Structure 1
Amino acid sequence: MISVDAVGVEFSGSTLFNNVTFNINDNDRIALMGKNGAGKSTLLKIIAGVNKPTNGKISAPKEAVIAYLPQHLLTEDDCTVFEETSKAFAKILGMKARMEELNHQLETRTDYESDAYSKIIEEVSELSEKYYSIEEVNFDAEVEKTLLGLGFVRADFTRNTSEFSGGWRMRIELAKILLQNPDLILLDEPTNHLDIESVQWLEDFLKHSAKAVMVISHDKTFVDNLTNRTIEITRGKVYDYKTNYSHYLELRKERREQQQKQFDDQAKQIAEIQQFIDRFKGTYSKTLQVQSRVKMLEKMEIVEVDEVDTSALNIKFPPAPRSGNYPVITDELSKSYGDHVVFKNVTFTIARGEKVAFVGKNGEGKSTLIKAIMNEIDYEGSLQIGHNCQIGYFAQNQAALLDEKLTVFQTVDEAAKGDIRSKIKDLLGAFMFSGDAIEKKVKVLSGGERTRLAMIKLLLQPVNLLILDEPTNHLDIKTKDILKDALRAFEGTLILVSHDRDFLDGLANKVFEFGNKRVKEHFEDINGFLRNKKMENLKEIERTAKV
């Protein structure tokens, strides 16, 4: 059991949270929830031992292993993917090497009666007890299974880690954590850089193979499927619910309704007391009663209603001219880089008003096909963009195109036209820019902040063909809901690349599956696609078994 005992954090004289206390037990699958800035990542770092609290402490058994995956990291670039991942077993392999070294000394030394010889025997005995208590593992097989589950292919194993993007290196670090079989796994937004299949694999692994897990995630489906407990940080306090995310939302709503009733009852009581004080202040016969009520007010602990955002922000794309009937038509489309074939002979048509999802493992060509549509790369075959198409395009690198000299507010103010101009601050707030943050210069923004700002700019453009490549990374649950509502109401054509099942649910009505150098069209939503895909996999297993 790991204990968080009266932990508090202060920054520049203000309290982020205080007196946070709870225990983490075996088989706990905890979702750490709260609005952006509530202190979730800070608390995770404190439990991991990366940061120190201002007060309080974390207690854990001496042998307990706590593994932590932050939002941003870089693995070292001096070895292959397989070698880097195998470092997960460095401690065990180090124990084995040390035992072999000590046993060699025992065989070659002759000072049997010396203290040094006795100490070697003691160390060998202690190491042996630890080493042989560890379940025997085929390390290479475990590394291979985990890397494949997280989306790597065998050809990647011998490639240097420096060849991979930050997202893929995040997967390597995640693989190392999972292979260590720690007592507690701490994950900060682990699904941001994973495709749907890898998210499902991770979900299954954590549910059935991990000891205890605490996760911060804006992927509602992932959190719901994984967790059995929800801890919320709000107004510097924590609330602990022994249930998953969806049920937690219902209980939180009930809690806030009770708080509101208590707040209203107290406000009425305070008003009545104050009315009595004002009425009889200075009246000699009532002096003691007035003083008694003044003291009552001074001692009264004011009921607080936990923060909840009741503002409704409806974003509508500006009106755009009508496009042709078929915004995208491909015929025998192929793309290769040297000998590496990304996809070949891809033929499909996307009709005006359709909302389609591109899904599949990373590296199967989703973003490549979008670059072909945007005419950013050359290709073989035919690709036609329909008549009068006005394209809005969002990819992670769009953030690099922002004017660094402007402030956040100026960037949006420049792009806004019409009625939305009166709601610029509300729009910025919905995308997690509030207070002094709206006056920050773009050049000082983090990568996530730039991405959100680029998304706001796109929402203000009059387009009739919208292409979004992983738009929900760096967005919290509320912001994703605002974006999803805007996309539902969007009257044009939508092409959406996303690994977020909950975001795709109810948004895309057709799925294009990328894999094995081809693109397969599925005339169903994401839930139907996933159901059928599992059935197809089962049939493949049956066919393999019969051979």
Structure 2
Amino acid sequence: MITVENLAVEFSGSVLFSEVSFVINPTDKIALMGKNGAGKSTMMKIIAGEQKANRGHVRAPKDAVIAYLPQHLLTEDNCTVFEEAAKAFKQVFEMRAEMEKLNLELETRTDYDSDEYMAIIEQVTELGEKYYQLEEVNYDAEVEKALKGLGFRPEDFQRQTREFSGGWRMRIELAKILLQKPDLILLDEPTNHIDIESVIWLEDFLVNKANAVMVISHDRAFIDNITNRTIEVTMGRIYDYKANYSHYLVLREERRAHQVKAYQEQQKMIADNMQFIERFRGTYSKTNQVSSRERMLEKLEIIEIDEIDNSALKLRFPPSPRSGDYPVTVKDVSKSYGDQVVFKHASMSISRGEKVSFVGRNGEGKSTMIKAIMGQIDVEGTCQLGHNVKVGYFAQNQASLLDPNLTIFQTVDEVAEGDVRTQIKNILGAFMFQGEDIDKKVSVLSGGEKTRLAMVKLLLEPVNLLILDEPTNHLDLKSKDVLKEALRNFDGTLVLVSHDRDFLQGLSQKVFEFKDKRVIEHFETIDAFLERNRIKSIADLQLAK
């Protein structure tokens, strides 16, 4: 059991949260929720021991293992994937090596009665008790199982970690955490860079094999599937619900309705008392009553209403100019990088107004196909855009393409047309740009902020073919809901690559699956495809156990 006692954090005189207390039980699966800036990541870092609180403590048993996966990390560059993952067992290996060293020393020494000899025996005994209490494990097999579950192929195991992108490095770190079998796993946005199959594997692990888990995530399906408790951080305090995310939303609305009612009743009481005080101030017979009510109002603690999501904003794409019947045509396309074949003999045609999804494991060629369609890379075969196609393209590196010299407001204002210009501040607010933020230069924004701004810009441009490659990685739940509703109502053609199942659901009528160097067309909704493959993936997981 891990106890959080009276935590308080303040920055520059501003209180992030104060007097926060709760207990993490051995089997709790906790979603840590709250708006951006509420203090979720800060609280997680404090529990992980990565950051100090101004006041309060985190208490854990002496031998408790707390493992933490931050949003941004780097593994070392001087070892292989397998070697890096095996560092999860570093303490075990060090313990074994120390025992071997001490036993060798005992074999070579002859001062059997000396204090030094007896001290070595005590060390060996103590180490041996700890070591032999450990479950007998085939460490190499465990490393292999974890890496495969997270999407690595056997041929990747001996590759250098420096050859992998940040997303794949995050998976290596995640493998290390899972292999440690910690008492508490802390995960900050773990699904941002892993594909659907790996997310399903991770869900199964966290639900069926992990001890306590605390997770920050904007992937609604993921947190609903793994959590049984929700802690909301809001306005400097917490609310603790024994419920998963979907049930928590219902309970939160009920809580806020009670707050609004209590606030209104309190305001009426204050108004009635103020009226009495004003009416009878100076009246001798009412002096005591007036004084009593004034003292009561001075001591009164005003009821606060929790912050509310103002995501009722309904955002629509501008009407699409009419395109030809087939905005995208791909015929017999193959792509290789040296000896590595990405896909071969792929063909597809996407009709005007059709909404399709590209799905598959990372590295199977989804982004490569999009670059081929956009004419950014050379391929064998034919990739063709149709008549009068105007493309709105959101690449994974879209943020780097913004003009760093413009402000946030200027970036959006230069593409907004018609009535939507009067809503620019509201639209930016829905994507977490508020108040003075809109006057910031793009050059000072974080990567996540630039990604959100690029998405706002895209939402306002009149296009008839939208190609979105992992658009939700840096969007919170509120922003994703705004985007999803806009895409549902988009009257043009949509090509969507995403690993976010909740975001994908209800958005496409056809699926192109990238698998085993092929592109397979499925005439079914993304919902049907995901359900069929979730069942298959879970069956595969059961067989692998």
TM, length-normalised to structure 1: 0.97
Match of 2:184 in 1: 184
Cα distance in 1 between the residues matched to 2:246 and 2:536: 30
Tell me, which stretches of 5 or more residues in structure 2 are unaligned? none
- Separation in 1 of the partners of 2:240 and 2:540? 43
**Which structure 1 segments of 5+ residues have no match?**
none
Q: What secondary structure sits across from 2:414 in the alignment?
A: helix
Matched, 1:335 2:340: no
1:56 and 1:541 map into 2 onto residues whose CA distance is 42
CA-to-partner distance for each residue in 1:33-86, whole Å, 9 max, x for gaps? 001110000000000000000100000000001000000111111111111111
Paired-residue identity, %: 68
Relative to structure 1, the CA distance from residue 311 to residue 227 in structure 2 (aligned partners, 3 Å threshold; closer, same or farther) is closer
Which residue of structure 2 aligns with residue 365 of structure 1?
365
State the 1:526 CA deviation.
Answer: 2.2
1:310: Cα distance to partner?
3.7
Is contact 2:200–2:537 with CA below 8 Å preserved after alignment?
no
1:175-194 superposed Cα distances (whole Å, 9 cap, x missing partner) = 11000111100000000001
Letter in 1 for 2:223: V
- Shift of residue 119 of structure 1? 1.2
Look up the match of 1:347: 347
Q: In the alignment, what sits opposite 1:158?
A: 158
Kept in 1: contact 2:161–2:169 (CA 8 A):
yes
Pairwise mapping of residues 284-303 of structure 1 onto structure 2 (< 5 A)?
Answer: 284-303=284-303
Aligned residues of 2:200 and 2:538 also touching (Cα < 8 A)? no
Q: 1:527/1:319 Cα in 2 relative to 1: closer, same or farther (>3 Å)?
A: closer
Task: Give the aligned partner of residue 5 of structure 1.
Answer: 5
Conserved? CA contact 2:201–2:541, under 8 Å: no
Query: CA separation in 2, counterparts of 1:26 and 1:537?
Result: 28
Q: Deviations over 1:348-407 (max 9, x none)?
A: 211111111111000000000000000000111122211110000001211111111111
What is aligned with 1:378?
378
- Root-mean-square deviation (CA, aligned residues, Å) is 1.6
Q: TM-score, normalised by structure 2?
A: 0.98
CA distance in 2, matches of 1:198, 1:541: 11
> CA separation of 1:471/1:177 partners in 2, compared to 1, >3 Å: closer, same or farther?
same
> Which deviations, in whole Å up to 9, do the C-alpha atoms of 1:297-339 show, x marking residues without a partner?
0111111111112452121112231011111111211111111
Deviation at 1:419, TM superposition (A): 1.2
2:272 is aligned to 272
The aligned residue for residue 126 of structure 2 is 126
Structure 2 contact 359–511 (Cα < 8 Å) conserved? yes
1:473 corresponds to which residue?
A: 473
1:525 aligns with 2:525: yes
- Describe the SS at the equivalent of 1:423: helix
Which amino acid is 2:252 matched to? R
Question: What does 1:430-445 align with in structure 2 at a 5 Å threshold?
Answer: 430-445=430-445
Call closer, same or farther: CA 1:248–1:63 in 2, change over 3 Å.
same
Matched, 1:450 2:440: no
- Residue 102 of structure 1 aligns with an amino acid whose one-letter code is L
User: Could you say which residue in structure 2 is the equivalent of 1:104?
Assistant: 104
Q: Tell me how far 1:286 sits from its aligned partner.
A: 1.3
Distance between the aligned counterparts of 2:298 and 2:539, measured in 1? 72
> SS at 2:252's partner residue?
helix
CA displacement, residues 239-258 of structure 1 (integer Å, 9 cap, x when unaligned): 11011111111111111111
1:535–1:219: structure 2 CA closer, same or farther, 3 Å change rule?
Answer: closer
The answer to whether 1:138 aligns with 2:151 is no
Q: 1:437, CA displacement in angstroms?
A: 2.0
Structure 1 letter corresponding to 2:321: P
Structure 1 CA distance, aligned partners of 2:132 and 2:222? Answer: 36
Residue aligning to 1:147: 147
Q: Which residue of 1 aligns with 2:168?
A: 168
**Take 2:111 and 2:186, find their aligned partners in 1: how far apart are those partners?**
48
- Runs of 4 or more off by more than 4 Å in structure 1? 534-544
Letter in 2 for 1:423: Q
The 3 A distance-change label for structure 1 pair 432 and 310 is closer
Q: Residue 240 of structure 2 corresponds to which residue in structure 1?
A: 240
> What is the Cα deviation at residue 161 of structure 1?
0.7
Q: 1:273 to 1:539 in 2, by over 3 A?
A: closer
Q: Distance in 2 between matches of 1:527 and 1:410?
A: 38
